[in-house]
Amino acid sequence: MKKLESAKSKISIPEDKFIAFQDLVLRLKEVKAKGLEEEQDLYADAPEEFLDPMLYTIMKNPVTLPESKTVIDYMTIKKHLMNDPHDPFNRGPLKIEDCPVNTELKKRIEAWLEEKKQKRQGS
């Protein structure tokens, strides 16, 4: 909190407003820490097939690369293709429009996430 206290000496605000702001900052830090903890719990038991092979995050919109047949998150491959127009797994030419959404896997991921959310709310 030293940064905030030193900031107060540089600006003129009422003491009660400054204290309220300090409380807000502390609550935001707690919320962020709780969110990170929940996210780590989620990734700890996520099925391997739900994880993006490049970023190792849970895929939101899985697509299948046509030649390598690798399943990867749409945003991951889209960002990759901005710099390199090749499949990162076999170096074949690749366009984003050639990567169909893997709807079956997407539904399973969404169902799994919903089940995890329900369990978390129930406990």
pLDDT tens-digit map of 30-39: 777 676 666 6
Amino acid 123: pLDDT: 60
- State the chain's mean pLDDT as an integer: 85
pLDDT tens-digit map of 56-88: 999 999 999 999 999 999 999 999 999 999 999
Residue 5 or residue 113, greater confidence:
113
Q: Per-residue pLDDT averaged across 34-63, rounded? A: 83
**Domains, the chain, ranges and CATH?**
1-44 (no CATH), 48-123 (3.30.40.10)
**DSSP structure class, residue 101:** B
Residues 6+ apart with CB under 8 A from 4: 18, 21, 22, 25
Amino acid 43: pLDDT: 67
Amino acid 23: pLDDT: 79
Q: Does the reported pTM lie above 0.85?
A: no
